[in-house]
Structure 1
């Protein structure tokens, strides 16, 4: 049997992989950047592989490192959950909800006070998902996923559809000349979701050509739009509060309805506690109340 690396090295590896930056991992773990770098070097020497490419700014997982992360993260989370189950506060019954950071911040958080008011004795733990593999690692009681609604071994309940339309800050909108907002710089989102080209086909117009900046997170992209950086092809459900507060304004009535949507997902093989069932019901019920 292979000798396992020290737990501290694995925790440092997981944090470094998540942040893609040794300095940010050090801040999370309460270590120095030099200590993080040293632990990673020791782990690489122990495993006899290179886990990270060292870049000018941050680090990037190698193929071996990327393959190792899910197992390490899953093991650390399993250990943490077992410790909490065995030795944590008795009767706490914390319910874990895993969802993308944008859903957590822009859709779920505004509903939490209402959910807590309805069931004040329920304790919730929200885990932000950055990529699909994180769902398996966290093994949450409830998940909110974006997709077709079909995941093997899961029960899915539709929450809301994804609809896209261009928005920008009121200040930037004032600079539009003769209604030609397509000449403004646009904000793009990395990933596989539909974008400007698909919306332009729906609207039967030419898409914006000048890119101001690209983000990998809708939260930061929306913040950039609020700040007047450019025009964002925004998720209308996730921009509802920003639109209501006039932090951004719509530039076109044309909407692109995406085939994928957002779903409440749970594992049918796990016996559902009554409090988890109640939280699922409250989340589903909140869709029409906000």
Structure 2
């Protein structure tokens, strides 16, 4: 007769089941747990023998949850999540505040609109820091960074925030009386990112790709565009709220889609999986 109690069942057996059930793969569970696939398989087999039920159906193509496994998984996931959160709250680095370091424009346009959701879900203190104020080497291990790149960071949690799309944006007031936006002054931001040269090549617009006004920061250039100083080749995801509010309008259906984009990244040594999941849930949501 099987023991229907979970007394003396090792926690790593239960975790192996939860991760494998959530990911749908023993291999993926092994990668997340930093153990071998054979170890995950053995832990789940031990758990199945202990409770007297088959949790997975094995076949040549992989594994799938059994009816009993599928029914039990949500309860196990909720229990482990509660255990992790309570542990971090009482004993772990959850007591420390989380710092998110990003450019001023990303903080204003992407993070700030999502702060209310964070406050409604979590009591943990969060600090937003502009990158220009604090060198990366001086940031605490619990810092999460938002950086622009191609995802080249190793030994980090990382997830792209959005698929970058660039398109000309302008204040609607600047278009009053203008029959064509091609005569509107163009704004640009210094740096290596795609600009008006690439836009002209991409669209074939008959304009000279030389900006009239150049800025050293995207925040300053965007403020100038909103105030009606010119048209800016700007990030559609970052400027979505300004577009919805009617402060800016699109001038073309064409978009530039660079390989680089904004990434949410954190050092794995200083950020627990639970903390990282919380931040991703709120701040990486479109």
The Cα of 1:210 is off from its aligned counterpart by 5.9
3-state secondary structure, aligned to 1:259: coil
Two-structure CA RMSD over aligned residues (Å) = 2.3
Offset at residue 272 of structure 1 (A)? 1.3
Residue number in structure 2 paired with 1:148: 150
Partner of 1:13: none
SS in structure 1 of the partner of residue 109 of structure 2? helix
Query: What is the TM-score of this pair, normalised by structure 1?
Result: 0.61
Q: Judging changes above 3 Å, is the alpha-carbon distance between structure 1 residues 129 and 164 closer, same or farther for their aligned structure 2 residues?
A: same
- Verify the 8 A CA contact 1:185 1:210 in the aligned structure 2: no
Structure 2: 5+ residue stretches without partners: 1-92
Q: 1:208 offset after TM fit, Å?
A: 4.6
After alignment, is 211-220 or 267-276 more displaced? 267-276
Residue deviations 1:24-81, cap 9 Å, x none? xxxxxxxxxxxxxxxxxxxxxxxxxxxxxxxxxxxxxxxxxxxxxxxxxxxxxxxxxx
Please tell me whether Structure 1 or Structure 2 has the larger radius of gyration of its CA atoms: 2
Report the 3-state secondary structure (helix = DSSP H, G, I; strand = E; otherwise coil) of the residue aligned with 2:205: coil
Partner of residue 101, structure 1:
104
Q: Residue 91 of structure 1: CA displacement?
A: 8.3
Structure 1: stretches of 5+ with no match in the other structure: 1-89
> In 2, are the aligned partners of 1:95 and 1:276 still within 8 Å (CA)?
no
- 2:225 corresponds in structure 1 to 225
**Alignment partners' CA distance in 1, 2:149 and 2:275:** 26
The answer (yes or no) to whether the contact 2:197–2:210 under 8 Å persists in 1 is: no
Q: Deviations over 1:132-163 (max 9, x none)?
A: x8222223521111100111332321111211
Contact 1:183–1:208 (CA under 8 A) maintained in structure 2: no
Give the Cα–Cα distance (whole angstroms) in 2 for the partners of residues 98 and 142 of structure 1. 6
Secondary structure of the residue aligned to 1:104 is helix
Matched, 1:167 2:186: no
- The equivalent residue for 1:71 is none
Q: Distance in 2 between matches of 1:91 and 1:150?
A: 27
Q: Name which of 110, 123, 126 aligns with 1:124.
A: 126
Instruction: Name the counterpart of 2:90.
Output: none
1:211 aligned counterpart, secondary structure: coil
CA distance in 2, matches of 1:109, 1:218: 17
CA-to-aligned-CA distance 1:146-196 (integer Å, 9 cap, x gap): 10011133232111121111111111111322x2x2222111101110001
- Secondary structure at the aligned position of 1:162 is classed as coil
Judge conservation of contact 1:167–1:250 (CA < 8 Å) in 2.
yes
